[in-house]
């Protein structure tokens, strides 16, 4: 059985043009008072009503069962890209532009020329496809265009599972914030316990600790203050978010400050930069994140600790000129 997808179309005629070959036929019913003509797409789709798209768009949608391979180039077996030309030979065999060049303009199926005739119906159909998110069963209600579903599932879906960073814990789910509070929450005086914050927090970091968990109370985001090696004569501090990237044109940004003491000559270290987002921490021994803060050995107190202040905010990405 093919994957159930939704093809966005303005009317039935457009569906017939875009999905030529799927129309089974026309059936007519006559009685004493009425004459009704119904276009059948599949046996199970005959009685379906037009429905509004989930995100409130005015376009009408129709559920259609398609084999996912129908949206792939038969030569390279890669999905056809939205806004990229699709070509066909005179016998109707389709191929992407890269493959047309790779086969030197000769259709592998029938040896007819290919690369000059655009396959507009298939291009229109792919532009109108809306796929359910792979994490729909976990609560995601998004309907995704063919061009955006991969990025959404990999980077932006809030329901995609995230792995717990604590050693020995096998949890992986979309409620990581709540899991850590329940399963790994400790006393407030515990230097290894997760710390809840809103905009800014100051924590004590042990030199021997690989990370410190910071829990954002408002967004339910999980941050790791990583304490890595791999640098001579000191440690590398960096911040990473375990979860989805912010949507739209926003990014997460941090300012991390290491306080060197309260004396008159004390000098603090600070770094500002974007916060990378990931579903799973790479673990010990991973190279420091780009833009890490170098903390020399001299900054660690005799107890082997430093005081670190972390400020996290959401920023709007400025448009490039």
Q: What per-residue confidence (pLDDT) applies to 40? A: 35
Task: State the DSSP code for 72.
Answer: B
Q: Is the pLDDT of residue 179 over 90?
A: yes
Q: What is the pLDDT of residues 83-113, one digit of tens each?
A: 889 999 999 999 999 999 999 999 999 999 9
**Across 64-73, 126-135, 152-161, least confident range:** 64-73
In order of 15, 141, 186, 220, the CA distances from 196 in angstroms are 52, 29, 12, 10
DSSP 8-state assignment for residue 288: P
Mean pLDDT of 148-171: 89
pLDDT given for residue 282 in this prediction: 80
Instruction: Give the number of other Cβ atoms within 10 Å of residue 311's Cβ.
Output: 16
The single-letter DSSP state of residue 53 is -
Cα–Cα distance for residue pair 48/35, rounded to 1 Å = 19
Q: How confident is the model at residue 288 (pLDDT cuts 50, 70, 90)?
A: low
> DSSP labels for 246-291?
PSTTEEEEEEEEEE--SSTT---EEEEEE--EESS---TTPPPPTT
pLDDT surpassing 70 at residue 242:
yes
The answer to whether residues 145 and 128 touch, using CB atoms and an 8 Å cutoff, is: no
Higher per-residue confidence, 272 vs 43: 272
pLDDT tier at 297, thresholds 50, 70, 90:
confident
The SS3 call for residue 125 is helix
Higher pLDDT, 285 or 245: 245
Burial class of 162 by CB neighbour count within 10 A (0 to 12, 13 to 18, 19+) = buried
Structure tokens at 276: 């990378």
Q: What does the pLDDT read at residue 248?
A: 76
Tokens of 11: 């009317």
Q: Do 235 and 228 meet the contact criterion of CB atoms below 8 Å apart? A: yes
Segment 209-217 shows an average pLDDT of 92
pLDDT of 277 over the 70 cut: yes
Per cent of the chain over pLDDT 70 is 72
The token pair at 210 is 């690989």
* Alpha-carbon span 279 to 273, nearest angstrom: 20
What does the pLDDT average to over 193-210?
Answer: 91
Residue 291 has a pLDDT of: 76
Report the predicted TM-score, pTM, of the whole model to 2 decimal places.
0.65
Q: List own/partner pairs for 316-321 with CB under 8 A and 24 or more apart.
A: 316/249, 316/250, 317/249, 317/250, 317/251
Tokens of 161: 């599972």
The helix/strand/coil state of 183 is helix
Predicted confidence (pLDDT) at residue 205 exceeds the cutoff of 70: yes
User: Could you give the dihedral angle defined by the CA atoms of residues 34, 39, 42 and 43, in that order, rounded to the nearest 10 degrees?
Assistant: 20
Residue 287 pLDDT level (bands cut at 50, 70, 90): low
Q: In terms of Cα–Cα distance, which of 85, 93, 138, 134 is closest to 112?
A: 93
Return the percent helix, strand and coil in the chain, to nearest 5. 15, 35, 50
In this structure, of 20-34, 108-122, 183-197, the range with the lowest mean pLDDT score is 20-34
Give the Cα separation of 70 and 72 in Å (integer): 6
Mean pLDDT (the chain) is: 77
Tell me what the mean pLDDT of segment 262-291 comes to: 77
pLDDT of residue 26 exceeding 50, the answer is no
Indicate whether 30 pLDDT > 70: no
Taking 50 as the threshold, does the pLDDT of residue 19 lie above it? Answer: no
| Separation CA 176–CA 243 (nearest Å) | 9
């Amino acid at each position: 059985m093919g994957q159930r997808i939704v093809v966005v179309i303005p009317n039935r005629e457009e569906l017939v043009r875009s999905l030529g070959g799927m129309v089974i036929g026309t059936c007519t019913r006559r009685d004493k008072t009425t004459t009704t003509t119904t276009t059948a797409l599949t046996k199970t789709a005959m009685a379906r009503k037009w429905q509004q798209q989930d995100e409130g768009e005015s376009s009408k949608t129709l559920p259609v069962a398609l084999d996912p391979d129908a949206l792939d180039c038969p030569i390279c077996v890669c999905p056809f890209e939205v806004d990229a030309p699709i070509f066909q030979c005179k016998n109707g065999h389709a191929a992407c532009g890269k493959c047309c060049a790779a086969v030197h303009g000769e259709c592998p199926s029938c040896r007819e020329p290919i690369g000059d005739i655009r396959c507009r119906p298939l291009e229109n159909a792919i532009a109108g496809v809306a796929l359910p998110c792979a994490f729909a069963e976990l609560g995601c209600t998004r309907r995704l265009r063919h061009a955006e579903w991969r990025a959404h599932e990999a980077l932006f879906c809030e329901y995609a599972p995230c792995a717990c960073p604590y050693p020995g814990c096998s949890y992986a789910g979309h409620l990581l914030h709540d899991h850590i509070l329940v399963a790994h929450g400790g006393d407030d005086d515990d230097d290894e316990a997760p710390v809840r914050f809103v905009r800014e927090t100051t924590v004590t970091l042990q030199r021997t600790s690989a990370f410190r968990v910071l829990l954002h109370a408002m967004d339910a985001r999980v941050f790791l203050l990583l304490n890595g090696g791999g640098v001579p004569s000191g440690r590398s501090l960096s911040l990473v978010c375990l979860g989805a990237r912010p949507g739209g044109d926003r990014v997460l940004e941090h300012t991390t400050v290491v306080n060197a003491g309260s004396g008159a000559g004390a000098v603090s270290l600070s770094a500002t930069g974007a916060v990378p987002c990931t579903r799973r921490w790479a673990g010990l021994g991973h190279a420091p994140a780009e833009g890490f803060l170098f903390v020399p050995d001299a900054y660690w107190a005799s107890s082997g600790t430093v005081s670190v202040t972390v400020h996290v905010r959401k920023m709007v990405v400025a448009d490039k000129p």
